[in-house]
């Protein structure tokens, strides 16, 4: 067993081997690029042996043909409001990168990611700083996530605003153009200038959609941790909910997983209590006034209830006769868990 452990490759052995066998072009780059790539590989294999990970499986390596290519470095600095990267070997003139808002950044700069996408270069600058404690409000709330909107005790947040409709229409149009070009010309179509321009437009609109929705989720989660001390949400199994391509598209656009991820780490930052309701808790089928739970053909689905001819956003209790909004009823049921 001891001999097997000595022969088994680890991060240090792999790093020493790759550093000793560097190609000529690698000496023109920063040494930290290779070492950080090896560190990421080590983390990926550690996660592979941990079956508790949500997406457990073999590491997925980045393809050289992927439209997004980049590297990482931990030697970047902010000097006089500019980003300073490692100077490559053999380059005489090397300038710092100027960008807006650099002087307002504070904290310790961590590993910086530089990548090229859609013909432009981007930099992700993570800063680590101490979080300030939020004042206790002695309030509690519940959030019911739905396709296109989040409902909570104080209202509703739309995650698919109207300004995204035009972007999604353009995305669909560009996808059809690219598919038609590939069907006619095969793999040679990807090498034409028109194909590259259309793909750049598609990537640009995808980035705009992601920025809009991430901004909505970030502002909403910040509002929750500022206004409430106790928050309860549903522990949804999103992968099992993606029954068809239509449902999958709506669930993916609604950012269920991203919302839970952001809210979880913000609650940890500011010492807020986050409760996850059980996956099988009938928040939609249960009456928040009398506790009656609908079963069988009486359940409410995405299209309402066919047997009783009710709408999808309408909840009618067959025990006490209460009539409520479906999402409002689910919020009250989740709130009862606190």
pTM over 0.95: no
Least confident of 48-57, 77-86, 323-332: 48-57
Residue 176 confidence (pLDDT): 94
Angle at 181 between CA 180 and CA 184, to 5 degrees: 85
Torsion from C-alpha of 13, 18, 21, 25, nearest 10 degrees = -160
Q: Is 256 exposed, middle or buried, given 0-12, 13-18 or 19+ CB atoms closer than 10 A?
A: buried
Cα-Cα-Cα-Cα dihedral sign, residues 293, 297, 300, 305: negative
SS3 224: helix
**Distance set, CA 234 to CA 257, 277, 337 (Å):** 11, 5, 11
What DSSP line would sit under 153-222, residue for residue?
TTEEEESS-THHHHHHHHHHHHHHHHHHHHHHHGGGGGGSHHHHHHHHHHHHHHHHHHHHHHHHHHHHHH
- Answer yes or no: are the C-beta atoms of 224 and 263 closer than 8 Å: yes
- Closest listed residue to residue 310, CA positions, set 95, 318, 208, 102: 318
Taking only the tens place, the pLDDT of each residue in 188-202 is: 888 888 888 898 899
pLDDT confidence tier of residue 237, bands split at 50, 70 and 90: low
H-assigned helices in the chain:
2-7, 11-20, 31-48, 163-185, 193-227, 238-241, 245-254, 256-269, 326-335
Angle at 152 between CA 148 and CA 154, to 5 degrees: 120
- Answer yes or no: are the C-beta atoms of 139 and 110 closer than 8 Å: no
Other beta carbons within 10 angstroms of residue 142's beta carbon come to 25
Taking only the tens place, the pLDDT of each residue in 125-175 is: 898 888 777 888 889 999 988 888 899 999 899 888 888 888 999 999 999
Residue 272 confidence (pLDDT): 92
Torsion from C-alpha of 158, 289, 313, 309, nearest 10 degrees = 180
- Decide if pLDDT at 301 tops 80: no
More confident residue, 314 or 198: 198
- Answer yes or no: are the C-beta atoms of 216 and 157 closer than 8 Å: yes
- Decide if pLDDT at 177 tops 80: yes
Q: What percent of the chain has pLDDT over 70?
A: 91
Torsion from C-alpha of 245, 246, 249, 250, nearest 10 degrees = -150
- Decide if pLDDT at 35 tops 60: yes
Question: What gap in Å lies between CA 20 and CA 18, rounded to an integer?
Answer: 5
Taking only the tens place, the pLDDT of each residue in 245-293 is: 555 666 667 788 889 899 999 999 899 999 999 888 888 888 888 888 8
- Decide if pLDDT at 236 tops 50: yes
- Decide if pLDDT at 220 tops 90: yes
Residue 100 confidence (pLDDT): 78
- Answer yes or no: are the C-beta atoms of 315 and 324 closer than 8 Å: yes
Residue 1 confidence (pLDDT): 44
Question: What gap in Å lies between CA 164 and CA 206, rounded to an integer?
Answer: 10
- Closest listed residue to residue 260, CA positions, set 247, 273, 274: 274
Question: What gap in Å lies between CA 50 and CA 252, rounded to an integer?
Answer: 26
Domain range list for the chain: 9-128, 140-277
Beta carbons within 8 Å of 44's beta carbon, 6+ residues apart: 59
Q: What is the mean pLDDT of residues 51-62?
A: 72
More confident residue, 162 or 228: 228
Least confident of 19-23, 185-189, 224-228, 231-235: 185-189
Question: What gap in Å lies between CA 292 and CA 285, rounded to an integer?
Answer: 8
């Amino acid at each position: 067993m001891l001999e097997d452990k000595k022969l088994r490759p680890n991060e240090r052995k792999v790093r020493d081997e790759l550093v000793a066998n560097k190609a000529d072009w690698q000496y023109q780059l920063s040494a930290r690029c290779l070492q950080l790539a090896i560190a990421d590989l080590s983390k990926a294999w550690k996660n592979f042996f941990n079956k508790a990970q949500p997406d457990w499986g073999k590491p997925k390596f980045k393809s050289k043909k992927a439209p997004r290519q980049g590297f990482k470095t931990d030697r970047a600095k902010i000097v006089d409001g500019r980003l300073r990267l490692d100077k490559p070997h053999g380059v005489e003139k090397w300038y710092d990168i100027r960008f807006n808002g650099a002087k307002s950044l504070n904290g310790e700069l961590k590993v910086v990611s530089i990548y090229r996408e859609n013909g432009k270069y981007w930099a992700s600058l993570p800063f680590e700083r101490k979080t300030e404690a939020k004042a206790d409000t002695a309030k509690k709330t519940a959030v019911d996530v739905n396709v296109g909107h989040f409902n909570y005790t104080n209202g509703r947040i739309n995650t698919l605003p109207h300004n995204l409709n035009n972007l999604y229409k353009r995305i669909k149009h560009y996808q059809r153009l690219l598919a038609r070009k590939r069907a006619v010309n095969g793999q040679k179509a990807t090498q034409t200038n028109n194909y590259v321009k259309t793909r750049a437009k598609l990537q640009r609109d995808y980035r705009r959609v992601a920025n809009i929705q991430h901004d909505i989720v970030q502002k909403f989660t910040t509002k929750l941790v500022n206004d409430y001390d106790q928050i309860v949400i549903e522990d949804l199994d999103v992968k099992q909910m993606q029954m068809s391509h239509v449902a999958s598209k709506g669930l993916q656009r609604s950012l269920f997983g991203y919302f839970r991820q952001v809210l979880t780490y913000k609650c940890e930052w500011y010492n807020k209590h986050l409760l996850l309701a059980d996956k099988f808790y009938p928040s939609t089928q249960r009456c928040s006034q009398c506790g009656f739970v609908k079963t069988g053909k009486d359940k409410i689905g995405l299209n309402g209830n066919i047997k009783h001819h009710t709408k999808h956003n309408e909840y009618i209790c067959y025990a006490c006769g209460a009539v409520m909004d479906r999402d409002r009823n689910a919020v009250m049921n989740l709130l009862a868990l606190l």
